[in-house]
């Protein structure tokens, strides 16, 4: 009996040592697909309370980003309420933008670390082969669809960032330009304070991803305006330099962590133990 009590006490102490983790999946995927990441976390940090948010699964991931931010936000805030010492967010692909939207809409959040795993944080201008109904269109033509009222009902349209039509992006995209505080006259202090409040923002991506385009978008970098090849790196981005969302503030504090990992395809990030061991585990304490 005494041994059993000691074991139970040990389990309670171990569980209390780690903050809860909330995981959000990517586009055309579902919560269950992130179970491999959940198992990696539990294996490394036994007793961790890991929540896979089962909302907007599969085809529903194409619903407007604002709708998804609202839905996931309610679930994430519920976990926050039950976790007074704070939580961690680990969000994959499109889920990384959803989570950033939740953070920026919740300036008093209690998120300690936000892990953005291969997420198009500065937008997407590339592969759409996973959208079978659009695969006949070239990326240079996508703006004709995405920068329309119908195109803005699709999640991808909400973060489609065409460097050859930046004016149309700012004019017609109803999500990402606002999230990035890129619209003159509509600066949101909450968009900045929600990021600055984080203890750590961990951005993970790599050149062999094959879906996020440019892959540097996962690090908050993007194509130069008017180019589909030349990259403006994160710390040279105008949005970074004017600290539009607080990324520069985090960086100057040493709390913006970037990992560039080669050899990982997009669909393999969340099940890759090497990536977890080197880039994720240490931040989920």
Residue 209: active-site member:
yes
Active-site entry in 25, 88, 219, 266: 266
As a whole number of angstroms, the distance between CA 103 and CA 188 comes to: 13
Burial readout 35-49 (b: 16 or more C-beta within 10 A, e: otherwise): eebbebbeebbeebb
Instruction: Report the alpha-carbon distance of residue 205 to residue 99 in Å, rounded.
Output: 17
Q: SS3 sequence, the chain?
A: CHHHHHHHHHHHHHHHCCCCEEEECCCCCCHHHHHHHHHHHHHHCCCCCEEECCCCCHHHHHCCHHHHHHHHHHHHHHHHHCCCCCEEEEEECHHHHHHHHHHHCCCCCCEEEEEEECCCCCCECCCCCCCHHHCCCCHHHCHHHHCCCCHHHCCHHHHECCCCCHHHHHHHCCCHHHHCCCCCCCCCHHHHHHHHCCCEEEEEECCCCCCCCCHHHHHCCEECCCCCCCEECHHHCHHHHCCCCCHHHHHHHCCEEEEECCCCCHHHHHHCHHHHHHHHHHHCC
Write down the catalytic residue from 209, 239, 251, 270.
209
Catalytic residue, from 25, 29, 45, 93: name it: 93
Which pLDDT belongs to residue 189? 85
Q: Catalytic: 266?
A: yes
The reported pLDDT for the residue numbered 224 is 97
Q: Report the alpha-carbon distance of residue 270 to residue 42 in Å, rounded.
A: 14
| 285 residues of the chain, pLDDT tens digit each | 544 554 444 444 454 689 999 999 999 999 999 999 999 999 999 999 999 999 999 999 999 999 999 999 999 999 999 999 999 999 999 999 999 999 999 999 999 999 999 999 999 998 666 676 676 678 899 999 999 999 999 999 999 999 999 999 999 999 999 999 999 767 788 889 999 999 999 999 999 999 999 999 999 999 999 999 999 999 999 999 999 999 999 999 999 999 999 999 999 999 999 999 999 999 999
Q: Is 227 a catalytic residue?
A: no
Cα 166 to its chain centre, rounded Å, is 22
The size of the chain, in residues, is 285
What φ, ψ does residue 74 adopt, rounded to 5°? -60, -45
Q: What is the pLDDT of residue 201?
A: 98
pLDDT number for residue 95: 98
Q: How far apart are CA 38 and CA 51, in angstroms?
A: 8
Task: State the pLDDT at residue 133.
Answer: 65
pLDDT for 8 equals: 44
Amino acid 190: pLDDT: 80
């Amino acid at each position: 009996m005494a041994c059993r009590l000691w074991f139970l006490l040990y389990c309670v102490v171990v569980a209390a040592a780690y903050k809860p983790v909330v995981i959000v999946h990517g586009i055309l995927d579902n919560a269950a697909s992130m179970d491999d990441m959940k198992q990696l976390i539990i294996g490394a940090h036994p007793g961790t309370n890991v929540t896979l948010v089962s909302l907007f699964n599969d085809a529903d991931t194409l619903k407007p980003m604002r709708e998804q931010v609202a839905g996931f936000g309610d679930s994430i805030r519920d976990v926050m309420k039950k976790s007074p010492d704070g939580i961690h967010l680990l969000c994959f692909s499109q889920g990384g933008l959803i989570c950033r939207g939740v953070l920026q809409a919740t300036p008093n959040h209690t998120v300690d670390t936000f892990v953005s795993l291969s997420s198009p944080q500065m937008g997407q201008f590339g592969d759409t082969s996973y959208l079978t109904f659009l695969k006949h269109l070239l990326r240079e033509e996508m703006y004709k669809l995405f920068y329309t009222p119908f195109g803005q009902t699709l999640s991808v349209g909400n973060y489609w960032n065409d460097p050859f039509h930046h004016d149309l992006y700012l004019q017609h995209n109803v999500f990402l330009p606002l999230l990035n505080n890129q619209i003159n006259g509509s600066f949101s202090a909450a968009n900045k304070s929600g990021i600055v409040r984080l203890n750590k923002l961990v951005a993970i991506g790599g050149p062999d991803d094959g879906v996020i385009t440019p892959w540097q978008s996962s690090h908050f970098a993007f194509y130069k305006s008017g180019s589909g090849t030349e990259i403006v790196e994160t710390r040279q981005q105008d949005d970074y330099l004017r600290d539009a969302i607080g990324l520069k503030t985090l960086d100057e504090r040493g709390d913006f962590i970037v990992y560039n990992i080669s050899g990982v395809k997009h669909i393999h990030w969340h099940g890759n133990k090497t990536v977890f061991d080197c880039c994720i585990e240490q931040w989920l304490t």
